């Protein structure tokens, strides 16, 4: 009987140790291939739609060599971009102002923005980034969130993405989805620019983002009233 108890305790201890190592190691195979969410129109989602997002597990963005789960298309996009200059609404997804919950959809056939409310071109709240406003956390739940500025810089490997083409050629499939102009919320720069918010801001008026165009790909900071794309990350803990 004592031997059986000892063996049972040994097996339990080994199982716990292996589980701990697996959690710390973040080896491949921990991310789902895709995740499906039902988004409902309101103060966060600009549309009611069911979207299946492809997910990739990668060490891009890592500070210590561990991997994380990334959406492989923009938040709100119903399909992955087919090229670095894909100009479709389906691949573009939705746009957010920095530190604001409300997302915006753009319809290129009617040249309209949803919700088509008056654009807030002058923030009165310039506080630092707040996780309770993170659209990734709000729409996907769990520990999904925006990437930090450091994670964007590391994903770019401090300059390995030289253009929107090389950013698209990565497993993340980033592309030039354009942006909503800071002054009036009009669509600008599809097929020319891609801007993806981070969860960091250098000062009261600007937010960090990953900026892409035909001649550059780097982290920059822009006025928080721009409507930029969002890409979500889920660290493996």
Residue 135 gets the label, from left (phi > 0), alpha (psi -120 to 50) or beta, of: alpha
Average pLDDT over residues 161-181: 96
| Other CB atoms within 10 A of residue 151 CB | 24
CA-closest candidate to residue 91, choices 60, 46, 53: 53
CA-closest candidate to residue 109, choices 80, 91, 88, 86: 88
The predicted structure's pLDDT at residue 158: 67
* pTM, entire model: 0.86
The predicted structure's pLDDT at residue 6: 35
Q: Determine contact, residues 222/65, Cβ cutoff 8 Å.
A: no
| CB-based contacts of 176, cutoff 8 Å, min separation 6 | 84, 85, 86, 164, 189, 190, 191, 192, 193, 194, 212, 213
The mean pLDDT value of the chain amounts to 87
CA-closest candidate to residue 177, choices 60, 88, 63, 64: 88
Average pLDDT over residues 172-195: 97
The predicted structure's pLDDT at residue 127: 77
Q: Which pLDDT tens digit goes with each residue over 214-224?
A: 999 999 999 99
Whether 67 has a pLDDT exceeding 70, the answer reads yes
Quote the CA–CA distance of 134 and 180 in Å, as a whole number: 18
Least confident of 19-23, 47-51, 138-142, 222-226: 19-23
The predicted structure's pLDDT at residue 138: 98
Task: Name the pLDDT band for 28 (thresholds 50, 70, 90).
Answer: low
Q: Which pLDDT tens digit goes with each residue over 79-105?
A: 999 999 999 999 999 999 999 999 999
**Tokens 């971009």 found at:** 81
Least confident of 2-11, 82-91, 134-143: 2-11
Rounded to 5 degrees, what are φ and ψ at 224?
A: -70, -15
Q: Which pLDDT tens digit goes with each residue over 103-126?
A: 999 999 999 999 999 999 987 777
Average pLDDT over residues 137-144: 96
Whether 195 has a pLDDT exceeding 80, the answer reads yes
Average pLDDT over residues 13-37: 55
| CB-based contacts of 141, cutoff 8 Å, min separation 6 | none
């Amino acid at each position: 009987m004592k031997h059986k108890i000892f063996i049972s305790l040994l097996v339990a201890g080994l199982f716990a140790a292996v589980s701990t190592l697996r959690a710390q190691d973040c080896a491949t195979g921990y991310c789902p291939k895709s995740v499906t969410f039902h988004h409902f129109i309101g103060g966060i989602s600009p549309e009611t739609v069911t979207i299946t997002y492809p997910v990739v597990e990668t060490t891009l963005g890592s500070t210590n060599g561990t991997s994380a789960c990334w959406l492989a298309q923009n938040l709100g996009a119903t399909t992955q971009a087919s090229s670095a200059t894909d100009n479709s609404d389906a691949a573009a997804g939705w746009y957010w102002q920095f530190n604001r919950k409300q997302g915006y959809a753009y319809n290129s056939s009617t040249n309209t923005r949803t919700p088509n409310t008056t654009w807030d071109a002058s923030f009165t709240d310039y506080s630092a980034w707040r996780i309770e406003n993170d659209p990734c956390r709000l729409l996907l739940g769990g520990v999904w969130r925006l990437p930090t500025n450091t994670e964007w810089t590391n994903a770019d490997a401090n300059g390995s993405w030289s253009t929107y083409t090389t950013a698209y050629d990565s497993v993340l499939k980033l592309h030039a989805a354009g942006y909503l102009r800071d002054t009036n919320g009009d669509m600008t720069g599809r097929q020319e620019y891609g801007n993806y918010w981070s969860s960091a801001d250098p000062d009261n008026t600007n937010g960090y983002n990953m900026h892409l165009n035909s001649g550059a790909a780097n982290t920059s900071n822009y006025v928080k009233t721009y409507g930029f794309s969002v890409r979500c990350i889920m660290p493996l803990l």
